[in-house]
C-alpha cells in the first residue's frame, strides 16, 4: 500500500495496525516512495489487562500480623 506523508500522519495508528497484520506500507512524498513501515522481529504482543481476573484472591486478613513472626518485629 502506498500512502502519502500527510495521510500517513493522519492515519498512523491504523497504518501501524495494518503493518502488524502483515501488510506492506510504503510512505511516499508525492508519488516518490521514501520509506517502508515494517514490524520489528522481537516485538511482543501487547499485554492484555484483566487476564488474571478471578484467579487472585486477597483475603480480608491479608495485612493482619502473622503470629509466627512475633520475635522478628
| pLDDT band, residue 64 (cuts 50/70/90) | confident
Q: What is the 3-state secondary structure (H, E, C) of 8-23?
A: HHHCHHHHHHHHHCCC
- Cα gap 32→19, rounded to integer Å: 20
Query: What is the C-alpha R_g of the chain?
Result: 25
Question: What is the percent of the chain where pLDDT is above 90?
Answer: 51
Q: Give the Å distances, CA to CA, from 7 to 17, 43, 47.
A: 15, 25, 29
pTM of this prediction exceeds 0.75: no
pLDDT at 73 over 70: no
Domains of the chain: 1-39 (3.40.1620.10)
Per-residue pLDDT tens for 42-51?
767 778 888 8
| pLDDT band, residue 16 (cuts 50/70/90) | very high
What's the chain's average pLDDT?
89
Amino acid at each position: 500500500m502506498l500512502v502519502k506523508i500527510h495521510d500517513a500522519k493522519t492515519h498512523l495508528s491504523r497504518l501501524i495496525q495494518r503493518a502488524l497484520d502483515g501488510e506492506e506500507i510504503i510512505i511516499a512524498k508525492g508519488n516518490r516512495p521514501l520509506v517502508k513501515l515494517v514490524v520489528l522481529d522481537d516485538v511482543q504482543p501487547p499485554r492484555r489487562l484483566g487476564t488474571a481476573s478471578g484467579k487472585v484472591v486477597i483475603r480480608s486478613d491479608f495485612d493482619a500480623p502473622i503470629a509466627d513472626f512475633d520475635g522478628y518485629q
